[in-house]
Structure 1
């Protein structure tokens, strides 16, 4: 069953005399519970595509559907609520709040929506990601890999249907990168979520169920199935 779909998606920047076509007609669909890697060189449009799919930036033209809903037909405030409930984000920069400990950073999204904190679920997440013993630590007391695990837990704590990860290991060494992506993959499998990961690293991309390649704002392939 399709959970995420784009149709004729376009994103242009600049004026006609100097128009940059970051995305130029992207049609793709992603199945529920699938792990998809979107691969491309720097400037290929892959991060722009992720932002469009997650409702972070409006397209110039085209449509994005999540669970069959055309998200850019929603009012901005409704889209913001829908996005918080349906989509979790993991970025290259961990974006942790320095004065909050691990537990507080993870549960912060629940505070925004005034949701009750399921302590058992948060503890389970932390154990799954190997950071339970760090729950009272501040971000500056953690390694880069541990900080990214906290960021992953924060993305999963709202139980989103989709997790979008933009170069989630860009600040990590190769060994830690493999560990983090393995943990991310195990976590979304455990909680029956769809994972879309942007990467330039073919080795990491091989861990996905499917690879989609993009260059110059166009799809070079709609998916190489790896399983």
Structure 2
């Protein structure tokens, strides 16, 4: 992860050296976030869904001709909904929960700008790195002993802060990295309308949990360049 942050920092520093112009901007977005889960348990069935969150932050646009590098820093919501059902020889049940972690995210996309009437179209891609700072998990779980009529099913409500780390009892790893893809339109007055897709590459599931998790986020943004 340190290598990823170093690469992002070097990319941004090199871009400043060659930039013909530098602009600053702010941007906010509505995020449709989901988790891509892969389980190793053959007795477990699962389904996933998306949640609505948000992102807000600032960026610099380092321009060189029709190209630019746009490093930024954002407070970004990710996560998703997940439901699990397990049927084994001794237990049956499952749980349904919504995970809503928030990250400080640093993307460094490279953009190509196409001049059009009233502004320009831009599109591009690049790496991002993110560090979890807060989050909640809400839902419920119900389990019962299979084949034992005297054992009543027990339901437990879930409503607590997410635990970040990589040891037993933690919910998610604190670090995430991947690729961001974006496209949009900038008006001549500096207003931006854009869409982005963040594809998580790192496995944010805790080691030994029997699952691999990756963040996927589709965002729709409004911003302004000064």
* TM-score normalized by the length of structure 1: 0.21
Radius of gyration: which is bigger? 2
Q: Report which structure shows greater RCO (CA 8 Å, sep ≥6).
A: 1
Kindly indicate which of the two structures has a greater share of residues assigned to strand. Answer: 2
